[in-house]
Structure 1
Amino acid sequence: MTLFSLFLYLLLSRTSSCREIQEVDRSSHPVLRLPLYHVGGGSHSLQALDSSPSPSPSFLESLALDEERVKFLNSRLDGNNATTKIHHVTTSISKGSESWIDEKSVNVPLNPGIPIGISNFYTKIGLGTPPTYHNVIMDTGSSFSWIQCEPCLVYCHPQAGARFDPSTSKTYQKLPCGTSQCSSLKVATLNSPMCTTSNTCIYSATYGDQSFSIGYLSKDSLTFGSESLPGFVFGCGQDNNGLFGKSAGLIGLGKDSLSMLSQLSTKYGRVFSYCLPTSTFLGRTGSGGFLSIGTVSNSAYKFTPMLAEYRDSTLYFVKLSAIYLSGKPLAVGSSGYSSPTVIDSGTTISRLSAPVYSALKQGFVDIVSSKFKIAPSFSILDACFYATFDEISTAIPSVELIFQGGADLRLAPHNIVLEVEKGTSCLAFASSSSMVIIGNTQQQTFDITYDVESSKIGFAAGGCR
């Protein structure tokens, strides 16, 4: 199968544009609340929902994918999204009056793959009129939403449930190349848009040589429960392959104008919150997670400023000020906390600067090794012990992440340690040579709100389980 197949010769749909972001009275905004589930475990997993399930990646494999995710995020700050290879595409696929043809050389950025497998969280959205419902990954590290679409002229990865069929929707439209949304694709996807000879805008969301989605830039009604919102701009994928698990696609909650958050801001404001349910890889999976769009009143929130980063304005940056172990700050100078810090729902294991991680690891090992025997490293995790999670949880010292302004995450045992295989548990942090990332293991069960309008992020304990 050819990886990148472009240029689809079809008649254009009429031009239209999505709603512009407007500043309105936040008190008038309703709140939209959706259930949120972990992809890989329990009765709500995408594997359980799939009528023809295939084996899930092992936790060892998921950690390798997590490293690719971190490389991808770092590349966005390092400016390494330049084209590095030319793909020669000579593909012609026809279906009725439609044909997807390209006989030209195409320059495509090759970025490390985003792992959309067992380490992420999904919800359900409706598309079209009448709506059909699809399971999609939630990602705060992306600003573009896409879904696998019929007729899937090139390739679609296996998914739980049916693909979206635009021909059954009365409100589906493709967007021409001259629209502002087409021009915005460069920032939202890191790739420049392309056009068919009939002027239909083609998006290319590439995450590496194994993970990508290519198709029509489109718009249609977006439905949550009984709420239907017209004119949602998304990618209707005709060529999708890579590390997407059994999901139907992805919803981007980054800060770019094409993200789902920005498109819903007229009605709900530029505020969202979520609680990631607990998840482990040996049968312990929580429930009750949620994704809320709109302002939620919670007096328990402790806020930290949302920082600007000129190298990537779409990610969510904060300032990590200190880490406390057993109630005492790590003996690390301020330079140890100077690296850019991003909060990301798609990264599993938090990455800390080398001096901070070294201090945390050494202090943690000194305490836990008095009760449990040290085990060999497990992939990127190098503070491991021969103990089940239930056994080691009674010996885990307290860990607190302190952010600028006094906001903190007082981590529970399930935020600190993962049982990576039966009888072996490891500290769920790793070292980073560049960007610091607060991953989803440390976020689980906290109610986290992203108030983009006020440029702050809040944390509250006990949001879900």
Structure 2
Amino acid sequence: MEPLLFLLFALFLAGSSSVRLNPEAERSKQQAFRLPLYHIHGQGPDSAQPEETPLPFSEALALDIARVKFLHSRLNGTVTSLAGSSGLINGKSVKVPLNPGQSIGIANYYTKIGLGTPPTYHLVVVDTGSSFPWIQCEPCRVYCHPQVGSHFNPSASNTYRRLPCRTSQCSSLKVATLNSPMCTVSNVCIYTASYGDQSFSVGYLSKDSLTFGSESLPDFVFGCGQDNMGLFGRSAGLIGLAKNELSMVSQLSARYGKAFSYCLPSSAPLGKPGSGGFLSIGSVNSGARSTPMLSDPRDPTLYFLKLTAISVSGRPLPLAASAYSVPTIIDSGTTISRLAAPVYDALRKELVRIISSKFQVAEAFSILDACFKGGAGQIATAVPPVNLIFQGGAELTLAPENVIIEVVKGTTCLSFAATTRENAIIGNQQQQTFEIIYDITNSKIGFSPRGCS
């Protein structure tokens, strides 16, 4: 958003209004909550959800490239704030279903949450690479993108309130959103959340009751979006799971502990829609093999781990340990894993050697330069076992659907690409069907096979 437009929007919001206070609710101790998680190519959470034309893979890949550039810019300190300088004013657990997102027009995973008293329910993107939760709100003073279902209506909730600029949550917005907060003339805090593809959400910093399943928690801090533009598909908003005090995980940690896990259902495992995905907040599977959860001072909110080796058919790639030395992000919102060039070249060479003995090589597809003629179901028969091995011995033993992806009918590519940047990324194509466990308290990331039912 241009600085002048941003200022006009801030002034537009400033004429707004009423703030209602909600009484303190007594907090009860709970074990965990679990929400369904859906994939864009899978079945949605209810039969009333309108079907959407699947996003062409070329467009999904373009969004993926934009996301990776944004992650790199965050690490390099080159993210541009949307607000111009003239616009700035001085132990326990729960579980929910997860779905992949194309039925709402996005290449991500989403779930359903309730907001307000009484609650209304909305489909929101779930993302480990961002922190700040927001949702499209009435009256949409500037613009709300088309979404499945209705916007959240604050005036219909008995417990909604806007937060003033003096609050600690308003002060935390700079780190959580990468943009400085602003104030209305009536002292209401305005947030701006911006993303790598120029998408953004601007609105009021707010509090209300969050509902998931039969559980309800008061005083959930989120953005009530009044100007929301970009590539969010038909979702109502976004829930961030990164390491920041405003993320959903941090806000629920007093009741459920600082841990979560998810199983990303496959978008279309060899042509069959995925199911059984979930997001679980709270207690985690302590029996899973784990690797240290690392941090990078360039962006301490992201999740890092150390990839130490890759094996194909049980044999490690012929690489020195130093080839794997780049910092590696694990991210639910990136589709295609990016590997350091020497690692990718060695993996590509070995897989092409094996698969091309049975299937003809096809032309490259955008950044995917190892492709074959045939559908994913056919090519899968020639895909050897591939293991990603992490510090401490934790492994992801990849099935064929974690290794290949059908980009157009009759053409299937390896779902890896090279990066010349200073960090690698483990994307969601390789995470699908595993339970990925984030034990933030003990700084561990674990992997459990066959996590989705």
TM-score of the superposition, structure 2-length normalised?
Answer: 0.90
Aligned equivalents of 1:352, 1:415: Cα separation in 2: 15
**1:324 is matched by which residue type in structure 2?**
S
**Mapping 1:21-420, distance limit 5 Å:** 30-38=31-39, 40-44=40-44, 50-51=49-50, 55-83=53-81, 106=87, 117-208=105-196, 210-280=198-268, 283-297=271-285, 299=287, 301-420=288-407
How far apart are residue 43 of structure 1 and its match? 2.9
Counterpart of 2:440 in structure 1 is 452
How far apart are residue 84 of structure 1 and its match? 8.5
Check the 8 A contact 1:171/1:221 in 2, yes or no. yes
1:6 aligns with 2:4: no
Q: Secondary structure at the match of 1:342?
A: strand
Between the aligned residues of both structures, percent identity stands at 63
Aligned equivalents of 2:74, 2:54: Cα separation in 1: 29
How far apart are residue 56 of structure 1 and its match? 3.9
Which 10-residue stretch deviates more, 332-341 or 211-220?
A: 332-341
Which 10-residue stretch deviates more, 7-16 or 316-325?
A: 7-16
Check the 8 A contact 2:83/2:179 in 1, yes or no. no
Counterpart of 1:432 in structure 2 is 419
**2:424 is matched by which residue type in structure 1?**
V
TM-score of the superposition, structure 1-length normalised?
Answer: 0.88
- Offset from partner CA, 1:174-223 (integer Å, 9 cap, x none): 00000000000000001100001111000000115641000000000000
Aligned length: 431
Aligned equivalents of 2:352, 2:401: Cα separation in 1: 17
Unaligned runs of 5+ in 1: 87-103, 108-114
Q: Secondary structure at the match of 1:6?
A: helix
How far apart are residue 332 of structure 1 and its match? 1.7
Q: Secondary structure at the match of 1:367?
A: helix
Aligned equivalents of 1:6, 1:54: Cα separation in 2: 34
Sort the Cα spacing of 1:16 and 1:337 in 2 relative to 1 into closer, same or farther, 3 A: farther
How far apart are residue 420 of structure 1 and its match? 1.1
How far apart are residue 117 of structure 1 and its match? 4.7
Check the 8 A contact 2:193/2:201 in 1, yes or no. yes
- Offset from partner CA, 1:403-447 (integer Å, 9 cap, x none): 000000000010000111111110000011122111000000001
How far apart are residue 68 of structure 1 and its match? 0.4
Aligned equivalents of 2:166, 2:435: Cα separation in 1: 40
Sort the Cα spacing of 1:17 and 1:274 in 2 relative to 1 into closer, same or farther, 3 A: farther
Structure holding more helix per residue: 2
Check the 8 A contact 2:106/2:232 in 1, yes or no. no
Q: Secondary structure at the match of 1:336?
A: helix
Check the 8 A contact 1:18/1:233 in 2, yes or no. no
- Offset from partner CA, 1:102-141 (integer Å, 9 cap, x none): xx9648xxxxxxx995321111100000000000011000
- Offset from partner CA, 1:136-156 (integer Å, 9 cap, x none): 011000110000000000000
Which 10-residue stretch deviates more, 258-267 or 386-395?
A: 386-395
Aligned equivalents of 2:24, 2:319: Cα separation in 1: 48
Aligned equivalents of 1:68, 1:45: Cα separation in 2: 28
Sort the Cα spacing of 1:250 and 1:17 in 2 relative to 1 into closer, same or farther, 3 A: farther
- Offset from partner CA, 1:44-71 (integer Å, 9 cap, x none): 179x7544x6544200110011000000
**1:425 is matched by which residue type in structure 2?**
T
Aligned equivalents of 1:256, 1:376: Cα separation in 2: 42
**1:361 is matched by which residue type in structure 2?**
R
Aligned equivalents of 2:252, 2:372: Cα separation in 1: 46
